[in-house]
Structure 1
């Protein structure tokens, strides 16, 4: 260090900051040194100070005038520049070991240590990570000629949050980060975007540079197989079913769990025995309903008994899983029906002896049916199939058949079960009647549903190249994939038309599927995924209830934030209200890119979530210009004020031009047609009266 390059001396040292008195030659905020004319004492510029074998690096956070002296007597008139002391304050952020910049400190500078403005070469070493791939995010806000790079692996491996008020440039920053990744050859890259505002489709259109560099698949915005935005209900695990149907833990949850397990067994097989056993139970129920009829009933009982005998005779002659039970049921019917002596006579009630024989016969048959259910894996005493297995079942059959059947079976132990579960049945029925959920509840069974869905998420052809594939969105995929090149896959879920109360279930299920896929993949992190969450506060809300419970969606993404890194699942969050985000998720974000934030609660959360050395810089947040941001965290050597790089074909998030639009008389003439078009799409296919 030469004396000519010194700009001042250290006059105060604290744990996170140092204070510097500027030399006389530096008071003009420029100084000529070995590296030419240098700017001195500008907020967000960098200084270096020797500290033992290393040099401490600080970022200027404030500049002051102090020590003004009052003139006495009639001495020579002095200017303010001659009577004042100019000082700057800097936050220490790292150190140079030789020419290599490293974060953190190993020691502090002494008082009166000489201070130097960081040279252009030193600034470059700070902003350009060494030893791995980097991502260019923009340029330094202080030195516009200096590009700012982030460590790509640290950015992705430790999650990232992009925050800022509306219109501050968040969506463009997310796009800039994607563009920075596309500067690399990443043909095996996988990016999944949850687009809650419908902004990103135009940015990845086939005609754009970004669309040509990637393999985009845009699903939505209108929910349903035709647009590709569908999510089969049978992908839900046990907890997601309980959350969707709000099943209480006491009685409703166990009954629903077993009913779904029964439905999965039936959905996974073509075993007709299940339906025939239920048919027997239904016939016995009809006959028992006639017991109380004092005017008729014999003809009904006769018809049902005749049908039961025909069904059992046919099944007992076949080889099946429950052959022993069918044989025993046949013996019971062959003995009991003649004893009951029920005649095919109209307007004739059943007699007491007939009811007694039939009641005892039905008890024996139900015992055999229960044993048969056990043989099929559906008995109360048998272990049920995996509740979480994503095996197809019909939700309509669950409502009409399996849930009532399970209730009937469990009532043998508690006659009040039906009353306890009535509200659950009503919620399930309402769900099936709600058209907003059709893209979840009304998806038809198709070949390899889970495998084809995951392939679509990861940019692999879910149809296997088969033009006759029965995958529900095969036409949509084939149309979009025709122009695909060799770049990374980008799957965009346009969720802008998904109802708000449905959104949480959708994002929770999608997030959990990606996480489970990552956990089950071997070798670990063989196919890493970047998950982009736009308006993340909508489905990762902060915990607000007194007991600290979280929504299902928040619980899923909190787990991804805490555990996803080691499995190759990275989060990139974007939110205009970080204070409404889960603190757990924000705290796990190793890199924070903060645009303008004016709300004190948002600023406070970031202060607590960032390193101590970066907190003083966050005071700049309310005054940041559009497209400018503060970047802190593990992916950047030091906190840096950056102007984010320009992006072509930005997301559709521009502010509307009210005055220009209001001044267009032609738009007023088109308003009735515009309203009719919106209403037609809004209402969809109305039922015919």
Structure 2
């Protein structure tokens, strides 16, 4: 064993396997604690750094394992070993990821001091954002590269109770640059798809909130049916019926072309397709399809319908015809009645109030004047063009059957806007957009196929080219589609207890330090292991706490306090009324 009087020396390299090093700790550091620069440092801690001098350069590595070799040394004590993964090197004061040379057997290994940590994690410039402090040293700021975070996607993963929601709030407020009432990045474009209604309070000072069931300062969330994929719309309204779909699309295109010719003189109506985001009256489509499906004729030439009642387009009342006579006598049969069940299903959704934000989209509905009060550009402006940097789309309480279509439709609108505006000064290519996807496992699982998953897959693969980034948040990474998770360049892994979830993160990580994922179960609340494109090297840090009053509405109920109180008889009438109205915040009065 070499002798060296440096107080930071902890051992020598005993083996080199690529970027992995075996290090034998010196007998004089058996206590596991060294005092350097007035601070106590514990040795061999998984996740801590070591420094390996190489002339003018210093190599740096992270301790990934600690063990006893089992072989007795001269003083009859077991050899203590640590495994180190090389991560980068410093030339002077400049640290860079990767190494130019490998160390040799018996090279000295030193403990990393606070001065070294500041060299490793030092950052400057507008492209870096401070998000917290290193777990190993509170005096060292933890920063991430904003460009890499947005352009190359990210995932925030952690079990329930790990501080995930609070971490998301802290991270996004740091990105926006909320500082004592000021916003340092006022042109930020961040959309949060809030599935539990927990983020409104946390961002009320910097966000517009749109909700299906608005209250207080929240605004109505509308997703116009005419700007989403016609295939998804028809499947949702009528079920899967190819013959009906063809008739539906023909009728829809005719109405879109008519609307374009009357309201959009700048559009060549011949170029209008089923996928053109142009308004049309869905009730007229239903009426036309119902008419053609049930019509009978008073003459053999089928020019005079045997109609008994016209019904009503606006009130969704179907037309009534005289029943066909047997043989060749009039009235003659016209429509086959093959789609009656499908059209009744469509009508039931059109009259169902819980779908009003989608099928009766307020100012985006066609009114009595034959046009809408607001246009598609107004919808996009509401979501990404307002002076608030954050937009929260609150779709809490929505069941999975509707969630997939609505979420996928909103993503479709936003991504199409990014594609068609990529050469414009206000497009997402010039002012990027970050989409924050809460509860990602609900609609991105391996065994699920839907509009939302298709759109997220597309954005994950192509979003960078058009200025759209993803941030996925989940408590069950093992359920997220492999293709989507593999596209995430940065991982924020909080406490995760489930072995299969940890295994999923480990397999998706590109760093050779995937073995460090095994210590995720012992992370403290609000603490994360961060690795990937947005950080120079993997780091363990604690998120900065949001300011008072800016926490998400995800606090656990106080079970002991609640259950210890006096019994109070409860009436569940209000609950049932809320259930019927599909509004958890509705107050029916004294119930």
Category of TM-score, reference length = shorter chain: 0.7 to 0.9
Q: Which residue of 2 aligns with 1:231?
A: 223
Q: Distance in 1 between the 2:239 and 2:227 partners?
A: 18
Alpha-carbon distance change, 195 to 685 in structure 1, aligned in 2, over 3 angstroms: closer
Q: Distance in 1 between the 2:544 and 2:218 partners?
A: 37
What secondary structure sits across from 2:18 in the alignment?
coil
1:496 maps to which of 396, 412, 417: 396
1:440 maps to which of 346, 358, 362: 358
1:512 maps to which of 412, 416, 437: 412
Q: Distance in 2 between the 1:568 and 1:603 partners?
A: 30
Q: Any residues of structure 2 matched to 1:283-362 within 5 Å, and which?
A: none
Q: Which residue of 2 aligns with 1:681?
A: 578
Q: Which residue of 2 aligns with 1:353?
A: none
What secondary structure sits across from 2:568 in the alignment?
helix
Q: Is the 8 A contact 1:91 1:614 kept in 2?
A: yes
How far off is 1:142 after superposition? 1.8
1:472-521 deviations in Å (ceiling 9; x for gaps) = xxxxxxxxxxxxxx6x4221111113233111111101111111111111
How far off is 1:456 after superposition? 0.7
The normalised TM-score by structure 1 is 0.69
1:614-633 deviations in Å (ceiling 9; x for gaps) = 20110112222221211111
Of 677-686 and 386-395, deviating more is 677-686
What secondary structure sits across from 1:605 in the alignment?
helix
What secondary structure sits across from 1:653 in the alignment?
coil
Q: Is the 8 A contact 1:135 1:177 kept in 2?
A: no
Q: Distance in 1 between the 2:136 and 2:121 partners?
A: 13
Q: Is the 8 A contact 1:169 1:626 kept in 2?
A: yes
Q: Is the 8 A contact 1:60 1:89 kept in 2?
A: yes
How far off is 1:680 after superposition? 2.9
The normalised TM-score by structure 2 is 0.80
What secondary structure sits across from 2:68 in the alignment?
strand
1:458 maps to which of 379, 384, 391: 384
Q: Distance in 2 between the 1:131 and 1:647 partners?
A: 23
Q: Is the 8 A contact 1:263 1:402 kept in 2?
A: no
How far off is 1:32 after superposition? 4.9
Higher strand share: 2
How far off is 1:536 after superposition? 1.4
1:385 maps to which of 261, 268, 272: 272
How far off is 1:125 after superposition? 2.5
Higher helix share: 1
How far off is 1:678 after superposition? 3.1
1:85-108 deviations in Å (ceiling 9; x for gaps) = 222112222222332222223332
Q: Is the 8 A contact 1:259 1:403 kept in 2?
A: no
How far off is 1:15 after superposition? 2.7
Q: Any residues of structure 2 matched to 1:343-422 within 5 Å, and which?
A: 385-401=272-288, 404-405=291-292, 418=336, 421-422=339-340
Of 504-513 and 564-573, deviating more is 564-573
Q: Distance in 2 between the 1:627 and 1:200 partners?
A: 17
1:155 maps to which of 144, 149, 153: 149
Q: Distance in 1 between the 2:562 and 2:239 partners?
A: 50
Q: Which residue of 1 aligns with 2:139?
A: 145
1:663 aligns with 2:564: yes
Q: Distance in 2 between the 1:605 and 1:418 partners?
A: 53
Q: Which residue of 1 aligns with 2:193?
A: 194
Q: Is the 8 A contact 1:45 1:142 kept in 2?
A: yes
How far off is 1:683 after superposition? 2.3
Q: Which residue of 1 aligns with 2:255?
A: 263
Structure 1, unpaired ranges of 5+: 72-77, 206-210, 272-375, 378-382, 461-485, 545-549
User: How well do the aligned residues superpose, as a CA RMSD in angstroms?
Assistant: 3.2
Q: Is the 8 A contact 2:405 2:452 kept in 1?
A: yes
Alpha-carbon distance change, 108 to 245 in structure 1, aligned in 2, over 3 angstroms: farther
Q: Is the 8 A contact 2:208 2:218 kept in 1?
A: no
Q: Distance in 2 between the 1:158 and 1:40 partners?
A: 35
What secondary structure sits across from 2:129 in the alignment?
strand
How far off is 1:229 after superposition? 1.7
Q: Which residue of 2 aligns with 1:428?
A: 346
Q: Distance in 2 between the 1:641 and 1:598 partners?
A: 17
Greater RCO structure (CA 8 Å; 6+ sep): 1
Alpha-carbon distance change, 126 to 407 in structure 1, aligned in 2, over 3 angstroms: farther
How far off is 1:529 after superposition? 1.4
Q: Which residue of 2 aligns with 1:45?
A: 48
What secondary structure sits across from 1:60 in the alignment?
strand
1:56 maps to which of 54, 59, 71: 59
Q: Which residue of 2 aligns with 1:15?
A: 18
Q: Which residue of 2 aligns with 1:293?
A: none
Q: Mark the structure with the bigger radius of gyration.
A: 1
How far off is 1:259 after superposition? 1.9
Q: Which residue of 2 aligns with 1:305?
A: none
Q: Which residue of 1 aligns with 2:313?
A: none
Q: Distance in 2 between the 1:453 and 1:532 partners?
A: 19
